[in-house]
Structure formats: C-alpha cells, structure tokens
C-alpha cells in the first residue's frame, strides 16, 4: 500500500505555519526536489498550559539522509531493527488498527496506545514535493515509552553521530531543544 496525500498540518513547520521547504542540511528546495524527503518532529506537553509544543523538527532530503544514515553504526541499526521486529505491531495488526492516516499520527506504532495522553511523542513521515506518502511504515508516531526504549539501544558510535548531526545540521534554536544523545530516525 502506498499513496500520496495532501500534507497534514501536523507536519507543517511550526514557526512558519506552512510546508517545510528546505533541507536542513543542503538547503535544497524540497518542494521541487523529486526524490523526496523525510520530516521528523517531536512534541512535549507544556506543563503550565497542558498543550503540546514542538521541541524540534527538521526536514532532510533523500540524498542527505542516505549520506547520514551511513554514519550510524551497524550495531545500532541491527538493535533498532530487532526492537521493531520484537515489539512493534506487525504490519497486518498495524493496518487493522490504523485504517486512516489520522490515527497513525496519534497512536504509538510500538505500544498501540494514544500518544495524546502522554507528555512526549514524536512523528515521522516521508514526503514528495507537496504530498505525503502513506505506506506500511509512514507516517508513524512513537510515544515516550517507546522513545526511551529505542534510546537505550544506541551504541556509543551512534550517539556520537546523533550529537554531531545535531551540531552540524540543526539551526541553533532547534539544536538547543534536542536532548543529548537523542536518537534521530534516519
């Protein structure tokens, strides 16, 4: 199953309020780039207001994504793969539980519970120009428990890489919001 739909507002840039339009790394124009891009976005509940706020977000083009994911250690990649095989809902359950895109953006793909009840979650999606791709894996949401479990699987090498990614790539206002060693889903 793979289709292209209008980009949901959840994936809009939180400060400009429209679609992400440049790659965080190479600055290419994503809305004309034909090979597609990935967006990752993390939310944290503001304890005073009770509303979710964007902690960090970035869009990265396919080419930069491939270059970077080569830097993650093989060990971490295998650990994360194994984690998903053992813990995540399987594809069939997944499609039954999440018949629509809306629920996939709000239900943790590992735990199968609503992330809107939690204090922290993140979402990821694959995009092509001004459309979002819907397939077996994307879009997804991960809640705080799953994030913590995946975090624990990262090797030292990969932690070094995610910290480097953060330093090199993220604009200062984004970078300062990303926790140390936070895994990045490339």
Binding residues (CB under 5 A) for Zn ion: these are 23, 25-26, 61, 64
Instruction: Report the residue number, 23 or 146, with the smaller CB distance to Zn ion.
Output: 23
Minimal distance, residue 172 CB to Zn ion, in Å: 19
Instruction: Report the residue number, 45 or 67, with the smaller CB distance to Zn ion.
Output: 67
Instruction: Report the residue number, 26 or 152, with the smaller CB distance to Zn ion.
Output: 26
Instruction: Report the residue number, 82 or 164, with the smaller CB distance to Zn ion.
Output: 164
Query: What are the tokens at 83?
Result: 């984690």
Minimal distance, residue 17 CB to Zn ion, in Å: 22
CA angle (129, 16, 170) in 5-degree steps = 80
Minimal distance, residue 26 CB to Zn ion, in Å: 3
Instruction: Report the residue number, 23 or 115, with the smaller CB distance to Zn ion.
Output: 23
| Closest C-alpha among 80, 89, 91 to residue 186 | 80
Rounded distance between C-alpha atoms, residue 59 and residue 48, angstroms: 29
Minimal distance, residue 129 CB to Zn ion, in Å: 14
Minimal distance, residue 42 CB to Zn ion, in Å: 20
């Amino acid at each position: 199953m793979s289709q292209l739909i209008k980009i949901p507002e959840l994936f809009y840039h939180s400060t400009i309020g429209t679609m992400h339009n440049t790659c965080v790394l190479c600055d290419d124009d994503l809305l004309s780039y034909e090979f597609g891009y990935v967006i990752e976005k993390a939310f944290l509940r503001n304890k005073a207001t009770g509303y979710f706020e964007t902690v960090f977000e970035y869009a990265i083009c396919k080419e930069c994504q491939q270059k970077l994911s080569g830097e993650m250690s093989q060990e971490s990649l295998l650990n994360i793969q194994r984690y998903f095989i053992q813990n995540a809902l399987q594809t069939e359950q997944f499609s039954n539980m999440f018949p629509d895109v809306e629920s996939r953006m709000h239900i943790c793909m590992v735990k199968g519970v609503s992330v809107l009840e939690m204090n922290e979650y993140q979402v990821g999606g694959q995009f092509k120009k001004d459309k979002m791709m819907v397939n077996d894996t994307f879009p997804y949401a991960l809640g705080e428990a799953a994030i913590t479990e995946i975090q624990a699987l990262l090797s030292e090498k990969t932690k070094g890489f995610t910290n480097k990614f953060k330093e090199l790539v993220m604009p200062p206002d984004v970078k300062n919001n990303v926790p140390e060693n936070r895994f990045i889903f490339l």
